[in-house]
Amino acid sequence: MDGAGAKAAALTRAPTYTAVCALTDIPRLGARVVERANGGNVAIFRTAEDRVFALADRCPHKGGPLSQGIVHGDRVACPLHNWNIRLDTGTAVEPDEGCAARFPVRVENGRVEVALDGAIELAFDGAIRVVPDGA
């Protein structure tokens, strides 16, 4: 398989989920951090409605730790410069621009599971792609 074919196959594969904690380990309107062996920590957020999201723990503005920000609604405010990042897309709220990588996340039987092997990329054409690490 050539490089383009391998990348296309990686984009269509189902994510591999890893159990990282119990839902109750994440406070409502709070976050926990998952450290990845290859770097790039992942912040797991929980809203007041128990919705769970996973983003790279790095603000697209100046790299602030989003896990230390304030969760409000479906957004988190970066602790450094108060940029608001949408938890569902990872995009900065206008007028700011930028995007934090998202990771597939789900809750199964009270356990939070995250696909740590690849981030979700929102393309400029609106398509959503799973990008494996190292691609």
Cis-peptide into 95, omega within 30 deg: yes
Interatomic CA distance for residues 127 and 97, integer angstroms: 18
Please report which helix (H) or strand (E) contains residue 107, including its range: strand 105-108
Which CATH code fits 3-132? Answer: 2.102.10.10
pLDDT of residue 100: 95
Domain ranges of the chain: 3-132
Residues lower than pLDDT 70 in the chain: 1-13, 118-135
pLDDT of residue 90: 95
pLDDT of residue 119: 65
State both tokens at 55.
């983003």
Query: Buried b vs exposed e over 36-62: b needs ≥16 C-beta within 10 Å?
Result: beeeeebbbbbbeeeebbbbbbbbbbe
What is the phi-psi region of residue 23: left when phi exceeds 0, alpha when psi lies from -120 to 50, beta otherwise? alpha
Give CA separation, 46 vs 19, 82, 107, in Å: 15, 19, 11
Distance of CA 132 to the CA centre of its chain: 14
